[in-house]
Amino acid sequence: MQGLGTKYKFSQWRKCLLLAGCSFTVFTSASALASIFPATAHVALELSTTAKVLNIANACVQVAMGLSVFVWQPVQVFIGRRNAFLLALLILLCFSIGAARATSTGMFIAMRVIVGSTGTFFLLAGQEILAETFEPVIRGTAFGFIQIGNTAGMTIGPCIGGAIVYYTHWRVIYWVQVGLAGLSLILSFFSIPSEKDMSNDQPKVTGSKSATLNPLRVLKPLLHPNVLITDLACGVLCFFQFVVLTSIPNTLNPRFNLTSPLVSGLFYLAPFGGFALGSLAGGVVSDRTTRRYIKKRGGVRLPQDRLNGALPIWLGLLPVSMVIYGWTLDREVGGMAVPIISIFFVSCGIVMAFNGLNTYCAETLPEQRSAVISGKYVVQYSLGAVSTGAVVPMIDAMGVGLVFTICTVVSFIGGIAVFLVARYGLQMQKNRFSASVK
């Protein structure tokens, strides 16, 4: 249980600057991952490899994103979160140059993996900073803006990439990323505060710094059933997200005989619109749900309350829109309009559901906030890697309709799990699976 007496010291303009810096950096990192998608065939041709190899490499990037928390978690403890944030941006900038100048498949994949390994830390540090900067009753909205940065990068990035490869060369995509990374570095230098400047909502570091080198520290919060269920739910949403994004070239392009990367890239505008609307709406719904339950309980706030706002998404919007999207493509009915509209609502539902879960992870164990969020990304991007690597073979073997039907069933199961955390999260948190990990 939490009251509302915590002080948040920054002025409103400083909070907006900080939010803009975090969101733009996350956008830069996400676009570095996704903007190359429409150019996959061109990259494969020039580097004498196949699109299948590059799709597997994309899955490896997802794995690197999940495992990178075991590196960045101790780095930020030893050199400070602000310095680690700037270091990660410098690595993003330098290895984007490496990707732009890659002369072999191995070099290109290595640069991609290293660039991808920085992305999770921007999300992790950004969520920590926002949790320490914004009051609980508006925290969900703040998280919505950083989510817009993430989803915009993954959808606007391919649009930009498609236009670039249509008019010029795929390597230009990475030179654009270099420029974005440089701008993010400048903006973050002036906007990201050091830990000593943060609010007194910042969790205190306990134990020696060397203890952060123990990977079990990141996994320890998973012993709480509510944290484990929440992380798995985030992983399921990440799976859905990359099923949608990765499947676009392999479902919409053949369905409507699209051969131009420019036109193919434009199809990412529909999920972008859904992601943008869902990020804003999800934050508003999450915060309003929190305020409603605070009033209902006479001023007492439980972090799990905000999860109630996402239940209609899990059990209604996501299943319906996924079934429509999958089977209209599978049966080739509804023309171009129905898949575009349905993928908009799928994307909107994914990030609306994400918002409450992301905010809950930052609130449920405030003294272990960094470890909880880090563990979430290990689980989340592990399932994201599975979807990135498996979705195309699944669609080829089963058909797009059946794949999205399976996603629908998983959505119902996820909704039930989130319902249990929303109702019994506090009780779950008090009962760990095991006390063996110290």
Residue 210: the pLDDT is: 63
Same domain for 169 and 238, yes or no, is no
Same domain for 103 and 22, yes or no, is yes
Same domain for 149 and 221, yes or no, is no
Residue 3: the pLDDT is: 43
What φ, ψ does residue 249 adopt, rounded to 5°? -65, -25
Residue 116 lies in a domain: yes
Beta bridge partners of 335: none
- Residue % of the chain over a pLDDT of 70: 92
pLDDT > 80? residue 266: no
Amino acid at 82: R
C-alpha angle with apex 207: 202 to 211, nearest 5 degrees? 105
Same domain for 183 and 298, yes or no, is no
Does 384 or 152 have the greater pLDDT score?
152
Residue 307 lies in a domain: yes
Residue 261: the pLDDT is: 67
The mean per-residue pLDDT over the stretch 123-135 comes to 87
Residues 6+ apart with CB under 8 A from 154: 30, 31, 33, 34, 241, 245, 275
The mean per-residue pLDDT over the stretch 379-397 comes to 83
Same domain for 188 and 225, yes or no, is no
Identify whether the C-beta of residue 135 lies closer than 8 Å to the C-beta of residue 9. Answer: no
Domain that holds residue 297: 214-433
Tokens standing for 36?
């190359």
pLDDT > 80? residue 76: yes
Question: Is the torsion defined by CA of 57, 60, 62, 65 positive or negative?
Answer: negative
Other CB atoms within 10 Å distance of the CB of residue 245: 26
Question: CA–CA separation, 217 vs 215, rounded Å?
Answer: 5
User: pLDDT tens digits for 411-428?
Assistant: 999 999 999 999 998 888
Same domain for 263 and 318, yes or no, is yes
Question: CA–CA separation, 22 vs 16, rounded Å?
Answer: 10
Burial of residue 234, with CB atoms counted within 10 A of its CB: 0-12 exposed, 13-18 middle, 19 or more buried: buried
Least confident of 289-293, 350-354, 424-428, 434-438: 434-438
Residue 344 lies in a domain: yes
Question: CA–CA separation, 413 vs 423, rounded Å?
Answer: 16
pLDDT > 50? residue 436: no
pLDDT > 50? residue 64: yes
| Length in residues, the chain | 438
Identify whether the C-beta of residue 156 lies closer than 8 Å to the C-beta of residue 245. Answer: no
Residue 220: the pLDDT is: 85
The mean per-residue pLDDT over the stretch 147-160 comes to 87
Same domain for 299 and 404, yes or no, is yes
User: pLDDT tens digits for 268-279?
Assistant: 888 889 998 998
Residue 25 lies in a domain: yes
> At which of 159, 193, 227 does a domain end?
193
Band (pLDDT 50/70/90 cuts) for residue 4 is very low
Amino acid at 305: D
Question: CA–CA separation, 216 vs 207, rounded Å?
Answer: 14
Band (pLDDT 50/70/90 cuts) for residue 175 is very high
Question: CA–CA separation, 133 vs 199, rounded Å?
Answer: 6
User: pLDDT tens digits for 308-353?
Assistant: 999 999 999 999 999 999 999 888 888 888 988 999 999 999 999 9
Residue 244: the pLDDT is: 85
Question: CA–CA separation, 158 vs 261, rounded Å?
Answer: 9
Same domain for 174 and 230, yes or no, is no
Residue 201 lies in a domain: no
Same domain for 177 and 267, yes or no, is no
Mean pLDDT, the chain, as a whole number? Answer: 86
Residue 51: the pLDDT is: 80
Same domain for 47 and 172, yes or no, is yes
Residue 5: the pLDDT is: 43
What domain count does the chain have?
2
Same domain for 220 and 189, yes or no, is no
Amino acid at 321: S
The mean per-residue pLDDT over the stretch 199-213 comes to 57
Residue 119 lies in a domain: yes
Residues 6+ apart with CB under 8 A from 436: none
CA torsion 136→138→143→144, rounded to 10°?
150
For residue 66, give the CATH number of its domain: 1.20.1250.20
Question: CA–CA separation, 338 vs 328, rounded Å?
Answer: 7
Same domain for 179 and 230, yes or no, is no
pLDDT > 80? residue 126: yes
- Residue % of the chain over a pLDDT of 90: 39
Residue 2 lies in a domain: no
Residue 437: the pLDDT is: 41
> At which of 158, 193, 228 does a domain end?
193
Question: CA–CA separation, 368 vs 190, rounded Å?
Answer: 27
Residue 199 lies in a domain: no
Identify whether the C-beta of residue 66 lies closer than 8 Å to the C-beta of residue 385. Answer: yes
